[in-house]
Amino acid sequence: MSQSVSSIVITGASAGIGEETAILFAERGWHVVLGARRKDKLQALATKLSQKGASQVTVLVLDVTDDKSVEQFAASAWEAAGGKIDVLFNNAGLALGVDHVSKGLVSDWESMLDTNVTGLLRVTRALLPKMIDSAHGHVINMGSIASHVVYEGGSVYCATKHAVRAITKTMRLELNGTPIRVSLIDPGMVETDFSLVRFKEDQERAKSVYKGVTPLTGRDIAECVWFAAARPKHVNIEEIVVMPVDQAAPHKINRK
């Protein structure tokens, strides 16, 4: 692979925002490194990315909650990218349930914390030292408006996204003096399988979230990732907060 080809590593790449980001970067001729648990979905996506114009596609199984999986993923991703990762997009994450704290399930809390917070940290720790040594790269973390505004039934999910925002801001300070850029993307309502996962495959309940609203799409968020990544090297996009016009806050939505 030519060293002139840019590379992006995407976690949670098998669906939603991760998938749409992979497609957009493929269209621009990048080498796309896909990481997720569902290898069959990644392989299907890889075929699409090749058709879309990706210079190269690498499929790697990744469970961000498993130390060994992350270590293997990081080593393979770095090798596949030829020792030069332009963008690490920490996208893997989920919400589970809308129970109040008094009724919440510990298993849901643990899953959200381990995926959204510790998982992001695992992947970053595994790749960031290599990026620092190579004096090259950009870490883009997937946040949420839940990192700015809390809401009933979202205590732990909101806590995880507040943590992601804090981690991102801290990384920006820690990496000052290096050429590594750090950005955060904070979307509002995006229509993906997010609500389906949150409501544990209850399709009717998931659909009701977007009823009467024109939400953001995965492509909308992918465009934000691209904007941050495509700036000149001396420009660091600190944070992008993006909402659908119909949504002014998590709890303030105009339904037609």
In a domain, 218, yes or no: yes
Strands 252-253 and 247-249, how do they pair? antiparallel
pLDDT at 204: 87
pLDDT at 196: 85
Q: What is the pLDDT of residues 222-241, one digit of tens each?
A: 999 999 999 999 999 999 99
pTM to 2 decimal places = 0.95
In a domain, 99, yes or no: yes
In a domain, 2, yes or no: no
Which CATH number fits the domain that encloses residue 197?
A: 3.40.50.720
In a domain, 119, yes or no: yes
Locate the DSSP E strands across 76-228.
87-90, 138-142, 181-187
Please tell me the distance from the alpha carbon of residue 53 to that of residue 153, in angstroms, as a whole number: 42
* Mean pLDDT, all residues of the chain: 95
The single residue of 30, 73, 89, 157 carrying the catalytic annotation is 157
Query: Considering Cα of 96, then 11, then 233, then 221, what sign does the dihedral take?
Result: negative
Q: In terms of Cα–Cα distance, which of 230, 243, 187, 237 is closest to 6? A: 230
Clarify whether 210 is annotated catalytic. Answer: no
- Per the structure, the count of domains in the chain is 1
CA atoms within 13 A on the CB side of 159: 14
Q: How many CB atoms within 10 Å of residue 129? A: 11
In a domain, 1, yes or no: no
12: which 2 tokens? 């949670």
Whether 1 shows a pLDDT value over 70: the answer reads no
Amino acid 84 reads K
In a domain, 245, yes or no: yes
Q: What is the pLDDT of residues 170-181, one digit of tens each?
A: 999 999 999 999
Please tell me the distance from the alpha carbon of residue 29 to that of residue 14, in angstroms, as a whole number: 19
Mean pLDDT of 137-148: 97
Kindly report the backbone phi and psi dihedral angles of residue 221, in degrees, each rounded to the nearest multiple of 5, phi listed first.
Answer: -75, -35
Owning domain of residue 243: 7-253
Q: Which residues contact 72 (CB under 8 A, 6 or more apart)?
A: none
